[in-house]
C-alpha cells in the first residue's frame, strides 16, 4: 500500500507541473515561498520539489529558509535551470550544496540543450566553483496533462526535477517508517543518488554531475546504508576526458598558479558536523611528493554539507618532470551522537587524485587570465555586454575561463597555450613567468600599486598585455535604470559593459585610452569576418603604433536600450578599434569589444584575432596584415582629459568592489609562498585605495619618461539610496515548450542584493517573511510539496 501511494504521488507531482506551467500568474512573491516552507516544516514533510530558480544566490531570506528546510530533514529537489547551453548559468536554490540540483537529458542520454551548466559562481572571483548539477534526469518531451483535456509534451529542467523528486519518494518508501528519520536525510539521499548514478559518455562533470539517476542502484545503496560522510565528486582523474574537463585539458606544471578543485562534503551522520583535523595528502609513490596541496574547507559542516577545496601546485624541483601523480586525500568528519546514542559518529572521507604533470612551458606560451577584476551580478547591477541582446539584461555567468569563456579556453589549449587564472591583484604574480596578461571584459577598479607594477612589468620585464574592453556610456547607463517596486527604489548599472575609466587609468602609462562610443557593425581583416557588438573606440594611442579603423554605427547617442530604426542621419564613420604597440621591453594590444570571445550571445568569434594577438604579445611574432605600414600611426591619437569617459558620482562603487577601500592582499589562488602578503612589488604602500583621476601624459615624449601622478583628481563618491536592498531576487522563466496560455513577464526583473553571508542562521525574522519579493516560476512547473 505504501508503494501505491508513492506512485500516486508521482502522478500528482507531474500533474502539478502541467497546471503550474500554464498558470496565467507567472509572478509570485518570496514571502509566499517562505510561508510555504514554514508549512512544510510544520507538517513534517519528507520531500519538497522546486521547479523554480534564479541567478540571485545572495537572496539571504530565501537561502536561509532553504537551509532551515534541509536542517529540518526535508529533502529538497530543485531544477538547475534552463539557461543552457551556456556555462556558469546554475540557478538558485539548485546550486546550493544541501539541495539536490537536477539537470535535463533527452531519451538518447544527451544533455538537453536547455539544461544549465556549471560551475557554481558563488566563489568568483576569488576561488573556484563547485560541481553542479548533482544528477540529470529525463526532461525533454515528457508527457503530462494539458490544462484543458488530454496530454501534451513538456520539456525543461522543471520537468526533470519532479521526476527525481518522485524517485526520491520511492526510495524513501523502502525505508521502514520507524527508522526513516534516522537513516534518511538530505545528505544520505544525495549520496545514494550520486553514487548510484550512471556516468554518461561525452558530457563533463559540470554538465551532468554524477550522471543519469538510476533508481535500482540507489535503492541498493540505501538498503544497506549506514550513516557516513563522503566527498562528491570522489575522484579527480586527469586521464578521464572529457568528464574531468577542464582539468584534463591542461596538465599541472611547476611555477603555475595553484589549480583549485572544489569538492562537496556530504555528511549523512548528522545535520551538523566538524572536520577532526586538517586533510592529508597520501601519495602513491615518491613522485607524489612533487605535488604540494593546501586545503581550504568548511570549519562547520551545516546543514548536512560543506566544501573541501584543493589548491594544487607542483614544486619547483618538478620543473622538468613529465608523468602522472596519484594518491588520495583523506579527512575525518565527526558529528554529535544521534538520539539514543552515546558516542560521537566518525567517518573517514577519501578523495582520489590522478594528475598529469608536464615540464614547465616556455614563457611565451603562458597566458595569465585576470579574474580578480571581474564583478558580476548579484552583488551589483552589472549590465550585459551586447546591448543587442534584450532578453538577458545581466552579465551573470561568471566571466571565467571555465564558464562563458570555456570555448575560448579550449581554443587556446588547442593552439598550444597554457592559461592560468589570477584571482588576486596584479602584485600577486611574477611577470617573468608569463608571456601575456589577458584582460577581458573587466568591471573592477585597480589599486595604484597594480598600475605601477604593471607599467614596470611591461616596460622592464617584457610582459605582454592584451586588453579586450566593452562599451561604457553614462547616458546609456542612465537610460537602463528602472524602478523596482520590491525595493521601492531606482536601480541603474554600477558600470558599463566594462569599467572603461578604470582601464584608462591602467593604460595611461602607455598613452592609451578608450572612449565612450557604443559601436556596432561588421568588418573584415584579411578575409576574416567579425561582428563588433556594442564595443567602444580607442581615443588615445601613441605614434609609431598600429591602429585599425573601420566604419561603424555609433548608437550611444540614439538610445542603445531602445528599439531604434536606422535613419539616413545615422551615418557610419571610421572608428579606431584595434591598437598594437611595442613599448619598452614589452608589447600592448587593445581591442574595444569582448563579445567575440564570450560564448554568451556571441554573433561571430574572433579567436583568430586572439591567436595573432597572443603571438605578438607573448612571442613578438608580427602578423604582416596587423602590422601593415598603412595602419601605422604617424601622429598620436589624443583627446583632452575632459573628453575621456568619466566615472559616475551617484554610485557608491565601494559597495561592489574588492579594490575601493580595501588593502592589497594575495589570496589563496596565488603561489603558496605569497599567500596573505602584498605580493612581489617592492613599492606597495598598503594604503586604502581611492578612485583615481587621470594623469597628464605627453604622448610625444615617449613612454619611458616619468609620469607625474601628484595631481591626480579624486571625484567624491556619493552613497546610493538603497532602501530595503537586502536579499531580493527575481526568478527567470524555466521555459519549456509552448504554453497553453500567454505568459505575463514584467519588463524589469533585476533586484540587486548586497549581502555577505557571515554566519549560519537557523531562524529568519518574521518581518523578512512578510516582505514582498517577486519570483518568476520557471516554465514547465513550479515548486510543489510531497507529503508522505
What is the tens place of the pLDDT at every residue in 457-508?
Answer: 999 999 999 999 999 999 999 999 888 766 667 888 999 999 999 999 999 9
Last residue of a domain, one of 225, 256, 271: 225
For helices 157-173 and 186-196, the axis angle rounded to 10 degrees is: 110
What is the tens place of the pLDDT at every residue in 314-349?
Answer: 999 999 999 999 999 999 999 999 988 999 999 999
From CA 625, how far away is CA 631, in angstroms rounded? 9
Give the domain CATH number at 148.
3.40.50.200
- Residue stretches of the chain with pLDDT short of 50: 1-25, 558-568, 682-788
Cell of 723: 532602501
Q: Within 10 A of 399 (CB to CB), how many other CB atoms are there?
A: 29
From CA 715, how far away is CA 690, in angstroms rounded? 9
Distances (CA, A) of 696 to 374, 639, 640, 689: 27, 11, 9, 20
Cell of 142: 515528457
Task: Give the residue from 291, 587, 289 showing the smallest Cα distance to 438.
Answer: 587
Last residue of a domain, one of 225, 249, 279: 225
Could you tell me if residue 204 is inside a domain? Answer: yes
Task: Give the residue from 50, 16, 11 showing the smallest Cα distance to 33.
Answer: 50
> How far is C-alpha 56 from the chain's CA centre?
12
Could you tell me if residue 436 is inside a domain? Answer: yes
The three-state (H, E, C) secondary structure of 625-638, written as one string = CCCCHHHECCCCEC
Task: Give the residue from 187, 208, 263 showing the smallest Cα distance to 231.
Answer: 263
Domain identity same for 428 and 478: yes
What is the tens place of the pLDDT at every residue in 380-417?
Answer: 899 999 898 877 888 999 999 999 999 999 999 999 99
Cell of 129: 566553483
Q: Within 10 A of 385 (CB to CB), how many other CB atoms are there?
A: 24
Domain identity same for 92 and 11: yes
291-297, strands of its sheet edge to edge: 229-232, 259-267, 305-314, 291-297
Give the domain CATH number at 329.
2.60.40.10
Domain that holds residue 171: 1-225
Could you tell me if residue 741 is inside a domain? Answer: no
Domain identity same for 258 and 290: yes
Task: Give the residue from 753, 749, 752 showing the smallest Cα distance to 775.
Answer: 749
Could you tell me if residue 673 is inside a domain? Answer: no
pLDDT of residue 489: 74
Could you tell me if residue 704 is inside a domain? Answer: no
What is the three-class DSSP state of 582?
A: strand
Domain identity same for 489 and 510: yes
Domain identity same for 601 and 486: yes
Domain identity same for 176 and 289: no
| Residue 637 backbone dihedrals phi, psi, to 5 degrees | -80, 135
Task: State the Rg of the chain over Cα.
Answer: 27
Domain identity same for 418 and 546: yes
> How far is C-alpha 759 from the chain's CA centre?
22
Could you tell me if residue 147 is inside a domain? Answer: yes
Cell of 255: 611555477
Domain identity same for 150 and 283: no
- Please state the pTM of the whole predicted model: 0.84
> How far is C-alpha 515 from the chain's CA centre?
28
Q: Within 10 A of 587 (CB to CB), how many other CB atoms are there?
A: 24
Q: How many domains does the chain have?
A: 3
Q: Please enumerate in sequence order all residues whose Cβ is within 8 A of that of 500, keeping only pairs 6 or more positions apart, or say none.
A: 469, 470, 472, 514, 515, 516, 536, 645
Domain identity same for 78 and 182: yes
Domain identity same for 521 and 378: yes
Could you tell me if residue 320 is inside a domain? Answer: yes
Residue with the three cell numbers 616596460: 459
Could you tell me if residue 294 is inside a domain? Answer: yes
> How far is C-alpha 551 from the chain's CA centre?
34
Give the domain CATH number at 534.
3.40.50
Domain identity same for 639 and 541: yes
Last residue of a domain, one of 638, 655, 672: 655
Domain identity same for 340 and 431: no
pLDDT of residue 779: 39
pLDDT of residue 750: 32
Amino acid at each position: 500500500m505504501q508503494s501505491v501511494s508513492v506512485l500516486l504521488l508521482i502522478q500528482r507531482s507531474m500533474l502539478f507541473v502541467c497546471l503550474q506551467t500554464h498558470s496565467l500568474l507567472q509572478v509570485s512573491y518570496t514571502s509566499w515561498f517562505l510561508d510555504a516552507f514554514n508549512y512544510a516544516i510544520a507538517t513534517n514533510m519528507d520531500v519538497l520539489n522546486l521547479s523554480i530558480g534564479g541567478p540571485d544566490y545572495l537572496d539571504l531570506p530565501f537561502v536561509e529558509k532553504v537551509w532551515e528546510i534541509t536542517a529540518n530533514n526535508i529533502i529538497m529537489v530543485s531544477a538547475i535551470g534552463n539557461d543552457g547551453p551556456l556555462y556558469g548559468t546554475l540557478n538558485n536554490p539548485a546550486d546550493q550544496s544541501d539541495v539536490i540540483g537536477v539537470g535535463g537529458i533527452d531519451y538518447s542520454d544527451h544533455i538537453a540543450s536547455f539544461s544549465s551548466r556549471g560551475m557554481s559562481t558563488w566563489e568568483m572571483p576569488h576561488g573556484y566553483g563547485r560541481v553542479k548539477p548533482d544528477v540529470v534526469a529525463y526532461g525533454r518531451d515528457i508527457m503530462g496533462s494539458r490544462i484543458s483535456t488530454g496530454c501534451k509534451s513538456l520539456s525543461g529542467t522543471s520537468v526533470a526535477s519532479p521526476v527525481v523528486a518522485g524517485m526520491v519518494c520511492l526510495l524513501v518508501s523502502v525505508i521502514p517508517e520507524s527508522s526513516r528519520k534516522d537513516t534518511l536525510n538530505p545528505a544520505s539521499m544525495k549520496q545514494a543518488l550520486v553514487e548510484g548514478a550512471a556516468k554518461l559518455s561525452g558530457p563533463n562533470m559540470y554538465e551532468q554531475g554524477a550522471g543519469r539517476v538510476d533508481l535500482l542502484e540507489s535503492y541498493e545503496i540505501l538498503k544497506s546504508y549506514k550513516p557516513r560522510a563522503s566527498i562528491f565528486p570522489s575522484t579527480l582523474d586527469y586521464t578521464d576526458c572529457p568528464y574531468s574537463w577542464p582539468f584534463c585539458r591542461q596538465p599541472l606544471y611547476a611555477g603555475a598558479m595553484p589549480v583549485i578543485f572544489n569538492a562537496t562534503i556530504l555528511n549523512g551522520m548528522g545535520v551538523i558536523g566538524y572536520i577532526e583535523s586538517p586533510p592529508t595528502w597520501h601519495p602513491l609513490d615518491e613522485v607524489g611528493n612533487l605535488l604540494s596541496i593546501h586545503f581550504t574547507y568548511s570549519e562547520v559542516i551545516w546543514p548536512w554539507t560543506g566544501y573541501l577545496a584543493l589548491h594544487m601546485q607542483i614544486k619547483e624541483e618538478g620543473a622538468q618532470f613529465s608523468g602522472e601523480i596519484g594518491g588520495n586525500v583523506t579527512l575525518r568528519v565527526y558529528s554529535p551522537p544521534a538520539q539514543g546514542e552515546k558516542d560521537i559518529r566518525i567517518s573517514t572521507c577519501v578523495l582520489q587524485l590522478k594528475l598529469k604533470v608536464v615540464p614547465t612551458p616556455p614563457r611565451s606560451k603562458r597566458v595569465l587570465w585576470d579574474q580578480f577584476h571581474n564583478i558580476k551580478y548579484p552583488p551589483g547591477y552589472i549590465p550585459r555586454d551586447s546591448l543587442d541582446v534584450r532578453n538577458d539584461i545581466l552579465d551573470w555567468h561568471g566571466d571565467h575561463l571555465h564558464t562563458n569563456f570555456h570555448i575560448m579556453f579550449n581554443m587556446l589549449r588547442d593552439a598550444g597555450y597554457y592559461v592560468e587564472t589570477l584571482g588576486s591583484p596584479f602584485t600577486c604574480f611574477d611577470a617573468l613567468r608569463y608571456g601575456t596578461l589577458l584582460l577581458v571584459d573587466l568591471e573592477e577598479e585597480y589599486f595604484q600599486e597594480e598600475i605601477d607594477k604593471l607599467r614596470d612589468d611591461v616596460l622592464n620585464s617584457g610582459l605582454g598585455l592584451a586588453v579586450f574592453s566593452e562599451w561604457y556610456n553614462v547616458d546609456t547607463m542612465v537610460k537602463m535604470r528602472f524602478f523596482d517596486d520590491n525595493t521601492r527604489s531606482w536601480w541603474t548599472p554600477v558600470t558599463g559593459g566594462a569599467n572603461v575609466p578604470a582601464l584608462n587609468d591602467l593604460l595611461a602609462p602607455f598613452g592609451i585610452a578608450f572612449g565612450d562610443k557604443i559601436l556596432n557593425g561588421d568588418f573584415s581583416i584579411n578575409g576574416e569576418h567579425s561582428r563588433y557588438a556594442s564595443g567602444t573606440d580607442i581615443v588615445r594611442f601613441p605614434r609609431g603604433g598600429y591602429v585599425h579603423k573601420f566604419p561603424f554605427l555609433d548608437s550611444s547617442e540614439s538610445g542603445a536600450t531602445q528599439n531604434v530604426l536606422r535613419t539616413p542621419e545615422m551615418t557610419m564613420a571610421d572608428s579606431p578599434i584595434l591598437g598594437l604597440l611595442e613599448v619598452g621591453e614589452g608589447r600592448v594590444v587593445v581591442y574595444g569589444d569582448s563579445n567575440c570571445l564570450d560564448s554568451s550571445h556571441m554573433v561571430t568569434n574572433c579567436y583568430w584575432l586572439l591567436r595573432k594577438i597572443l603571438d605578438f604579445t607573448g612571442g613578438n611574432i608580427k602578423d604582416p596584415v596587423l602590422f601593415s605600414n598603412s595602419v601605422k600611426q604617424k601622429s598620436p591619437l589624443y583627446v583632452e582629459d575632459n573628453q575621456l569617459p568619466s566615472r559616475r558620482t551617484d554610485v557608491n562603487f565601494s559597495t561592489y568592489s574588492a579594490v575601493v577601500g580595501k588593502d592589497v592582499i594575495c589570496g589563496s589562488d596565488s603561489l603558496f609562498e605569497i599567500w596573505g602578503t602584498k605580493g612581489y612589488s617592492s613599492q606597495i604602500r598598503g594604503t586604502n585605495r581611492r578612485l583615481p583621476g587621470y594623469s597628464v601624459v605627453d604622448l610625444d615624449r615617449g613612454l619611458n619618461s616619468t609620469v607625474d601622478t601628484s595631481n591626480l583628481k579624486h571625484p567624491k563618491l556619493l552613497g546610493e539610496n538603497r532602501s530595503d536592498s537586502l536579499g531580493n531576487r527575481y526568478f527567470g522563466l524555466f521555459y519549456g515548450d509552448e504554453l497553453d496560455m500567454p505568459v505575463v513577464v514584467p519588463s524589469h526583473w533585476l533586484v540587486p542584493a548586497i549581502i555577505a553571508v557571515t554566519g549560519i542562521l537557523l531562524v529568519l525574522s518574521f518581518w523578512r517573511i512578510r516582505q514582498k519579493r517577486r519570483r518568476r516560476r520557471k516554465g514547465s512547473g513550479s515548486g510543489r510539496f510531497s507529503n508522505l
